[in-house]
């Protein structure tokens, strides 16, 4: 098992367990039934990544490095500065990519499969349509080339992003004062619950994936005084069939 996968599984197992003891939304009794489609799509996406998407990314990064393309290869920076530059610029890209998934109809068709979950917990972080994964990979290739990212930098970023995503999608009951303190730096559960609200103005906010600063900077940051009152999911796609694997998979076609 590679390091990234080990860290992801460990974080998922820890947070999933803690959600049973300190849940934000209480009374959920069918957690494994809810999680099963997410685990299944995670396996599908993992295989897709392993046998296709990782190879494409490696080829693009190798080509860029051999031709000294990208900011990291052209600017006279220290190794530490290159890592910081790569992290910051790629995190900004992730913000704009997420925003595009909400603003562009074609992209939203795939991304809404993620938002259609009506009982968000840490397994919702696995609930991304394979079509969205493919689109994300292809659109980010020119970005990683322009930045001049190394595979190590991308791998470390993706590992940090995966843990962050598992955390901020979680149903953990984080005290508001702690959540408020954490979200000055990173995305937190209360911040991301607003993003998964069925209310359109809230769904279209809080786009950042790792560092919370981008939502504040680009004026898309939004909070809710009491996140217990948020209705999670979308106004449409609330039926049980869309919570199952087949309904999730066909959501972009509807």
Residues forming a β-bridge with 186: 211
User: Tell me: the pLDDT tens digits for 113-122?
Assistant: 999 999 999 9
% of the chain exceeding 70 in pLDDT: 100
Q: Is the pTM of this model over 0.75?
A: yes
- How confident is the model at residue 243, as a pLDDT? 95
pLDDT, mean of residues 60-83:
94
Q: What is the pLDDT of residue 105?
A: 98
What would the pLDDT profile of 29-41 be if each residue is shown by its tens digit? 899 999 999 999 9
Q: Angle formed by the axes of helices 79-103 and 105-115, to 10°?
A: 100
How far lies 232's CA from each of 40, 88, 136, 172, 253, in Å?
Answer: 22, 30, 24, 15, 22
- Whole-angstrom Cα distance, residue 124 to residue 164? 12
Predicted local confidence at residue 233, as pLDDT: 97
pLDDT on residue 252:
97
Q: What is the pLDDT of residues 232-243, one digit of tens each?
A: 999 999 999 999
Dig out the tokens for 228 from the structure.
């217990």
Q: What is the mean pLDDT of residues 136-149?
A: 97
At 14-25, the pLDDT tens digits run 999 999 999 999
Q: How many CB atoms lie within 10 A of CB 26?
A: 9
Q: For position 37, what pLDDT does the model report? A: 97
Cβ atoms of residues 228 and 194 within 8 Å? no
Burial class from Cβ neighbours inside 10 Å (0-12, 13-18, 19+) for residue 60 reads: buried
How does pLDDT run across 177-206, given as a tens digit for each residue?
Answer: 999 999 999 999 999 999 999 999 999 999
Overall average pLDDT of the 227-253 stretch: 96
1 has a pLDDT exceeding 80: no
């Amino acid at each position: 098992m590679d390091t990234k996968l080990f860290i992801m599984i460990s974080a998922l197992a820890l947070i999933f367990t803690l959600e049973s003891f300190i849940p934000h939304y209480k009374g959920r009794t069918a957690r494994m039934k809810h999680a099963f489609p997410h685990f299944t799509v995670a396996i599908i996406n993992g295989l897709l990544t392993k046998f296709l998407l990782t190879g494409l990314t490696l080829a693009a990064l190798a080509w860029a490095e051999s031709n000294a393309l990208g900011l990291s290869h052209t600017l006279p920076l220290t190794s530490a500065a290159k890592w910081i530059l790569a992290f910051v610029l790629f995190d900004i890209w992730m913000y704009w990519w997420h925003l595009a998934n909400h603003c562009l109809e074609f992209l939203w068709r795939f991304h809404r499969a993620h938002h259609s979950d009506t009982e968000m917990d840490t397994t919702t972080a696995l609930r991304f349509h394979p079509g969205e994964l493919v689109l994300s990979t292809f659109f980010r290739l020119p970005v990683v080339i322009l930045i001049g990212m190394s595979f190590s930098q991308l791998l470390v970023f993706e590992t940090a992003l995966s843990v962050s995503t598992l955390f901020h999608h979680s149903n953990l009951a984080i005290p508001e004062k702690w959540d408020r303190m954490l979200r000055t730096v990173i995305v937190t559960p209360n911040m991301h619950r607003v993003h998964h609200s069925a209310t359109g103005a809230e769904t279209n906010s809080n786009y950042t994936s790792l560092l919370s600063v981008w939502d504040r900077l680009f004026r898309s940051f939004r909070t809710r005084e009491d996140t217990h009152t948020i209705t999670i999911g979308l106004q449409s796609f609330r039926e049980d069939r869309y919570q199952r694997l087949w309904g999730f998979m066909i959501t972009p076609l509807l």
